[in-house]
Amino acid sequence: QVQLQESGPGLVKPSGTLSLTCAVSGGSISSSNWWSWVRQPPGKGLEWIGEIYHSGSTNYNPSLKSRVTISVDKSKNQFSLKLSSVTAADTAVYYCARGRQLGYYYYMDVWGKGTTVTVSS
């Protein structure tokens, strides 16, 4: 079965760029799925960041769109997140997830374990 694993620096300086990668195993990133990033600040709720299809098509949360870039590397079977101009408010657990078509639309049915990113000098 498909498994996802997030990786990247756990500490990012304010005004810097947060960069994370999600490795996909047990399946191909080129399958008919969308691949998402979701974050959760400490003690708070979930926030959808954006998604990418293997073709490179993307959709982003309007509130983060100006700072977010999601890309895919089919040769490495992984996808990545870049969030620029970070502040302490971007401190969160970051999850990657697979968006699979179930029923009439796509739903996040497989999730990584999450990785904690702290923004601090």
Partner 1 sequence: QSALTQPRSVSGSPGQSVTISCTGTSSDVGGYNYVSWYQQHPGKAPKLMIYDVSKRPSGVPDRFSGSKSGNTASLTISGLQAEDEADYYCCSYAGSAYVFGTGTKVTVL
Residues near partner 1 (CB under 8 A)? 36, 38, 45-48, 59-63, 95, 102-105, 107-109, 111-114
Q: Minimum CB separation from partner 1 for residue 102, in Å? A: 5
Paired strand residues for 25: 3
CB atoms within 10 A of CB 34: 20
CB atoms within 10 A of CB 78: 20
Complex with partner 1: residue 78 or 94, whichever CB lies closer: 94
Complex with partner 1: residue 10 or 62, whichever CB lies closer: 62
DSSP-derived pairing of the beta strands 115-119 and 92-102: antiparallel
Q: Minimum CB separation from partner 1 for residue 15, in Å? A: 25
Complex with partner 1: residue 42 or 75, whichever CB lies closer: 42
Check if the beta carbon of residue 118 is closer than 8 Å to that of residue 13.
no
